[in-house]
Every structure is written in C-alpha cells, then in structure tokens.
Amino acid sequence: MKKQSDTSPQTAEKLVKAALAALPAKASEGMKDLLKLLAKQIPDDDVPLFDGDILAHIASTHWDLAKERHHGDPVIKIYSPPTNDPRHHRTVIDIVSNDMAFLVDSAVAEVNRHNILIDHLIHPILFAEYDSGGKLKGIYPKDSPQAKAPGAVRQSHICIQVKDLLPEEVLKALEQGMLSALHDVHFANRDWPEMIKRIAEAVMNWRMPRPATRRVRLRNFATCWIIWKTTILPFWPTANINSKRKTENCRAKL
C-alpha cells in the first residue's frame, strides 16, 4: 500500500478519501457507506488520530462482524491494524451488537478492568438490513428510510482504540472478559425490567401503613436494597453519590 505523499494537516474529508482508497478493490457499496457513517462519528479534534489505512480496516471489520452475527449475538474482534505510519500503531477493539442499555459502559469497564487506558471511542447506533436468508444487505443511519423498514435491526457499532500494542496474553484475556461482559449485558437487559418491577413492589410493601410489623418492614427494605444493589446499581456509577446518606435516611424511617 502506497504511503500518502500529502503532508498537509489531516481533515475529515481527506481521511474519508484516503480510507475509501485503502478499502479492498472489491469492497461493496455497503462497506463504503459504513465507512462514511463511522467517519462522521469522529470529532474534528480526533481526526489526526486516524489515517486512511486504520479507518478502512475498522470499516471492513465492522462490515464483516455484522455479516457474521447470528441470532443477535454480540461479536468482537481485537487486533492491531496495519499502518504505514508508526505514530498510528495501536490496538483496536471492534464490537457489533444489538443496541441495548449498559452496553458501552460495560465495554469500557471491561477494558479498564485490565488496567488499559482508552485513547479513543466511537459508538454510532445504526440499522442493519438482512434478507430472508440472513445475508447482510446494508447498514444505514437512523434517519434513513431503510432504518424504519420492517425487520431492520438496531445495532451498536463500538470502536475502542488503545494507543499501546498489547501483548498476546492480554489480548486473549481481554477478549474472553469482553465476551463475558457482553453476555452479562444481554441477560441484564432481559431481566432488569422484572427486577425493577419487584423493587417497586418491595418499596410499596415497605411503605405499607400499620399494622405491618417492624420485622416485615425490615425484611421488605432488605429485599429492596439487595435487588437494587446487585442488579441496578453496578451499571450506574453515579448512583453511588450520597448512597450512604440515602441508606441512613431509609433506616431512620424504619
């Protein structure tokens, strides 16, 4: 692949042009459209962090991941994209999944759990269209007519970049941990509406007027707190603010 001879500052337009040129010769129109959609998510200040080779590799990876998905399962790929510029050597974590709550926070938390600092993250929410045989036809922005078509799949396309080249053992541990975290997100989204319902019921029971005994109200408070602590609170770090004070206030009402 030829090295770019243009030494002027990188711009979004130049980046897209270089990335399109770096795609495989037989790249589909859908892959090219996806590249442009991903490029739109890059803030102007972060454009210099990319080069055409990296963006082309990310776009082709996300296209391939979307093609390989089955039954809504999340798919990931962790790799170091080839580049002619040593300044752009990095590790990339690409994730394609059905869009759902807690997804990005959980992915970021898993990266941080391995003491890895994130250099850049983009997260477009797009809509994929598959034919009756499960073949990917295209990926579209949310304001397009195709996004409103029956059967369109709302997908999260997450791209996390790490400035360092990670050792092989770290890559394997990160991949296993990320897959586990994404499956936990799936189960949390499946179960948490029911958990919220039970919390509401527990709160209502806890607030029952007399003749509810102190033991009954203590039991209901404990149930409410345990469900909240174990199923909801971990996904909202900001919920820890003043949590001790709120707990003390609740106990005071008992």
Task: Write out the chain's pLDDT in tens, 254 residues.
Answer: 444 445 556 788 999 999 999 999 889 999 999 999 999 999 988 888 788 889 999 999 999 999 888 767 899 999 988 777 777 788 999 999 999 888 999 999 999 999 999 999 999 999 998 888 888 889 999 889 989 888 889 999 999 999 888 889 999 999 999 999 998 888 888 877 777 777 777 766 655 555 556 666 666 666 666 666 665 555 554 444 344 444 344 344 44
| CB-CB contact of 52 with 4 (8 Å) | yes
Cα(36)–Cα(20) distance, integer angstroms:
9
Cα(223)–Cα(79) distance, integer angstroms:
44
Confidence (pLDDT) at 241 = 37
Cα(98)–Cα(69) distance, integer angstroms:
10
Confidence (pLDDT) at 148 = 87
- For the chain, the domains span 12-166, 182-253
Residue 190 in tokens: 């499946």
Cα(104)–Cα(158) distance, integer angstroms:
8
Bridge-based pairing state of the strands 91-98 and 75-79: antiparallel
Confidence (pLDDT) at 127 = 94
φ, ψ at 92 (rounded to 5°): -120, 135
Q: Is the full-model pTM beyond 0.75?
A: no
Confidence (pLDDT) at 160 = 95
Single-letter residue type at 16: V
φ, ψ at 103 (rounded to 5°): -65, -55
